[in-house]
Amino acid sequence: MGMSMPMPKGSSELEQAAEQEAAGECSWRRDFPIFNQPYRDGIPLTYLDSAATTQKPQVVIDALSDFYSHTYATVHRGAYELSSQVTDRFDQVRAKLAQFLGAPDERAIVFTRNATEAINLVAYAWGLDNLSPGDNVVLTIMEHHSNIIPWQLMAHYRGIELRYVEIDQQGELKLDQLAELIDEHTRLVGVTHVSNVLGTVNPLPEIGRLVRECSDALILFDGAQAAPHLPVNLTELEFDFYVLSAHKMLGPTGIGALISRSELLEKMQPFNGGGSMIERVELDTATWAELPYKFEAGTPHIAGVIGWGAALDYLTQVGMERVLDHELALTDYALARLSQVPGIRIFGQGQKMRLGVISFELAGIHPHDIATILDHHGVCIRAGHHCAQLLMKFLGVPATSRASFYLYNGRDDVDRLVNALMEAVEIFR
Amino acid sequence: MSLRSLYGNIILDHYKNPRNMGELPEADVVVEARNPLCGDELTLYLKLDDNQRLAEVKFTGVGCAISQASASMMTVAVQGLPKEEAEELIQLFKQMVMGEAELDAEAEARLGDLVSLEGVSQLHNRVKCATLAWNALQEGLEEFARGGSRAELVEKAD
Ligand SMILES: Cc1ncc(COP(=O)(O)O)c(C=O)c1O
């Protein structure tokens, strides 16, 4: 499979690559089979919905297929050679993830179904025992529903108060307001690393320091939109929980992780009960397995973990710095081109740092009509509230259109997006 | 189906200049309809006369071109119709946009301008936009038959 790294190529292949570069095509795209086939009526697929979920490179698809074809068995029941091998590979991915995120405490890396389940794990396993009436949890208006609803459920069970940090004109969190909202009853502060609507990269080092300085509150960072797109080094951060999903970073669906600290996880009750997470079971009691298995009840999504490992390898080989550079350059290009579309309003411009998630509105054209017209051109974008209804309300819009990029997108994708938007404007003129 | 035939003149005209838009304080039945999936919201006001004819039909709300144009055209099409005929038209319209009806000349005549929404039948994810107002009308007529005056309708995901 062609990674895009320099490797010996025939001259025609080189020519072809040069041609593609000139056309603004992205060379990593060739590693993704979905882009190597015609999409519909000969038009190419312009996939601009990676904030929802990403396409998969051949190496990930092959890893899944190879695993099921050649080495499939269960984990942690090593009564036979095959299972021991699988268990090793399974835990190697944990080590890879630790490396990828700069999170050396492997015992504090818990596999979950996705970022959503990781946050629910924290809410239930930590929150039920540690929150009580009068306490508050501070969130932000730009959180995905997955970092709001679990805390609303805790408000229901434990009578806590929820507080929300707002954003300014530039689409950045009001950090002074964050400092004001935190008081001695604040038990947790939950902030997304990157906004799935505005693309804003929140200043986690600053936020971490701020929270530590003025409270004992725990810190939860939602890395679902960050870990896929920029280098993350958790050793440099003040945090207690960091969550992410594999499917947003080239891996399979159904697998994600919670990164925490062992001392903290040791003190928490398990989230789900069942097999694999126990040590000894009596009639009325049980003792828990060591970390991280205490939080991994039931047979896990083994293939998902293996596939995620392949995705991490791929991203590591490309280099997250390059992924970020590519995305920043493409975002600049997209913002410049999009601003030429008559009647467009882009949400979130002027942040200190923003990634390739661009939400916009076209005057007089509903996001669903935009999506239909774009779909006609093979351009896939998201229309709706993006699981961020609080932010939508704050921005004063019922819904927006959202285009989001990843390493397989190029300027040609942006051009096709802009051309299709121009047609929408023309139709609704 | 081409984009221009979906977003044709009739639909865009009704979207930009919706007919019978506004509240109707003297309505017999008010239906609040929502499609949570896309955020479309529509309130339908029905006034029936002594002969169970739709004397006046108005609507308010926000939504995409398809849902707004469909609602606007519907209010025009059912104004003055006896309840039974309105119900028949609801069925016919829904069959058309769900791609379940071969339209003969008679059906086309009954649908009139509404035929311009036929293209929706090829866009599976837009059918609900077109039917929102019509389901609200159905709900309103049923509520009226039950003797009620307010109803709510929330579209479900397929
Ligand atoms: C910022 C953010 N957090 C959390 C999630 C939830 O991810 P998942 O659905 O994989 O749990 C998403 C996904 O859209 C997201 O964008």
Tell me the per-residue pLDDT of A151-164, one tens digit each, with 9 for 90 and over.
Answer: 999 999 999 999 99
Q: A154 CB near a chain B CB, below 8 Å?
A: no
Task: Determine the pLDDT at residue A262.
Answer: 97
Written as six digits, the tokens of A383 are: 């229309």
* pLDDT class of A4 with cuts at 50, 70, 90: very low
pLDDT in tens, B61-96: 989 999 999 999 999 999 999 999 999 999 999 999
Residue from A113, A117, A196 whose mutation best tests the ligand 1 pocket (most atoms within 8 A of CB): A196
Cβ-based contacts of A365 with chain B (< 8 Å): 65
Classify burial at A214, counting beta carbons within 10 Å of its beta carbon; exposed 0-12, middle 13-18, buried 19 or more. middle
Using DSSP's 3-state secondary structure scheme, residue A36 falls into: helix
ipTM of the shown complex: 0.90
Cα–Cα distance between B107 and B93 in angstroms, integer? 9
* In the predicted structure, residue A2 carries a pLDDT above the cut 70: no
Task: Lowest mean pLDDT of A188-202, A274-288, A408-422, name the range.
Answer: A274-288
Q: If you average pLDDT over every residue of chain A, what do you get?
A: 94
* In the predicted structure, residue B7 carries a pLDDT above the cut 50: yes
Q: B63 CB near a chain A CB, below 8 Å?
A: yes
φ/ψ of A277, rounded to 5, equals: -105, 5
Residues A55, A57, A59, A62: what is their CA dihedral angle, to the nearest 10 degrees?
50
Task: Determine the pLDDT at residue A41.
Answer: 83
* In the predicted structure, residue A78 carries a pLDDT above the cut 80: no
Nearest atom (ligand 1) to Cα of A192: 1
Residue A421 near residue A374, CB atoms below 8 Å: yes
Closest CA in chain B for residue A373: B3
Task: Determine the pLDDT at residue A387.
Answer: 85
What is the percent of chain B with per-residue pLDDT over 90, rounded to a whole number? 84
The CATH number for B89's domain is 3.90.1010.10
**The three-state (H, E, C) secondary structure of A49-108, written as one string:** ECCCCCCCCHHHHHHHHHHHHHHCCCCCCCCCHHHHHHHHHHHHHHHHHHHHHCCCCHHH
Cα–Cα distance between A60 and A32 in angstroms, integer? 10
Please count the structural domains in chain B.
1
End-to-end CA distance of chain B: 23
* In the predicted structure, residue B1 carries a pLDDT above the cut 70: no
Query: Is the CATH number of domain A11-44+319-428 3.90.1150.10?
Result: yes
Domain A64-316, CATH among 3.40.640.10, 3.40.960.10, 3.40.50.620, 3.40.710.10 = 3.40.640.10
Average the pLDDT over A311-323 and give the result.
98
Average the pLDDT over B99-103 and give the result.
89
Task: Lowest mean pLDDT of A12-21, A48-57, A280-289, name the range.
Answer: A12-21
Average the pLDDT over A243-256 and give the result.
98
Average the pLDDT over A424-429 and give the result.
94
What is the percent of chain A with per-residue pLDDT over 70, rounded to a whole number? 96
Pick from A155, A213, A144: nearest CA to A179: A213
* In the predicted structure, residue A187 carries a pLDDT above the cut 50: yes
Chain B contact probe: residue of A41, A362, A365, A368 with most B CBs at under 10 A: A368
Find out whether the beta carbon of A138 lies less than 6 Å from any atom of ligand 1: no
Residue from A112, A248, A253 whose mutation best tests the ligand 1 pocket (most atoms within 8 A of CB): A248
Residue A121 near residue A241, CB atoms below 8 Å: no
Using DSSP's 3-state secondary structure scheme, residue A166 falls into: coil
**Across A193-333, where does the E strand assignment appear?**
218-222, 241-245, 256-259, 278-281, 286-288
pLDDT in tens, A210-242: 999 999 999 999 999 999 999 999 999 999 999
Residues in CB range of A389: below 8 A, 6 or more apart: A145
* In the predicted structure, residue B54 carries a pLDDT above the cut 60: yes
Cβ-based contacts of B16 with chain A (< 8 Å): 364
Task: Determine the pLDDT at residue B158.
Answer: 62
A43-62 per-residue burial string, b: 16 or more CB within 10 A, e: under 16 = ebbbbbbbbbebbbbbbbbe
Task: Determine the pLDDT at residue A14.
Answer: 67
Q: B66 CB near a chain A CB, below 8 Å?
A: yes
* pLDDT class of A26 with cuts at 50, 70, 90: confident
* pLDDT class of A392 with cuts at 50, 70, 90: confident
Residue A230 near residue A320, CB atoms below 8 Å: yes
Pick from A57, A56, A61, A84: nearest CA to A71: A84
Task: Lowest mean pLDDT of A334-343, B11-20, B121-130, name the range.
Answer: B121-130
Q: Which residues of A are catalytic?
A: 387
Average the pLDDT over A391-404 and give the result.
90
Residue B35 near residue B47, CB atoms below 8 Å: no
Residue A46 near residue A417, CB atoms below 8 Å: yes
Residues in CB range of B83: below 8 A, 6 or more apart: B48, B52, B53, B54, B141, B144
Enclosing domain of residue B69: 3-154
* In the predicted structure, residue A8 carries a pLDDT above the cut 60: no
Task: Determine the pLDDT at residue A23.
Answer: 72
Q: From ligand 1's centre to the CA of A145, what distance in Å? A: 8
Q: From ligand 1's centre to the CA of A36, what distance in Å? A: 28
Ranges of each domain in chain A: 11-44+319-428, 64-316
Task: Determine the pLDDT at residue A17.
Answer: 66
Chain-centre distance for alpha carbon A8? 34
Find out whether the beta carbon of A186 lies less than 6 Å from any atom of ligand 1: no
Pick the more confident residue, A41 or B31: B31
DSSP A230: S
Pick from B36, B33, B96, B92: nearest CA to B60: B33
Q: From ligand 1's centre to the CA of A114, what distance in Å? A: 8
- Nearest by CB: B3 against A384, A399, A427: A427
Q: Which residue owns the Cα nearest ligand 1 atom 13?
A: A52
Task: Determine the pLDDT at residue A13.
Answer: 66
The number of C-beta contacts closer than 8 angstroms across A and B is 39
Pick from A188, A193, A184: nearest CA to A128: A188
Cα–Cα distance between A285 and A269 in angstroms, integer? 13
Q: From ligand 1's centre to the CA of A288, what distance in Å? A: 29
Task: Lowest mean pLDDT of A260-274, A379-393, A396-410, name the range.
Answer: A379-393
The Cα of A373 is separated from the nearest Cα of chain B by a number of Å equal to 7
The model's pTM: 0.91
Cβ-based contacts of B12 with chain A (< 8 Å): 427-428
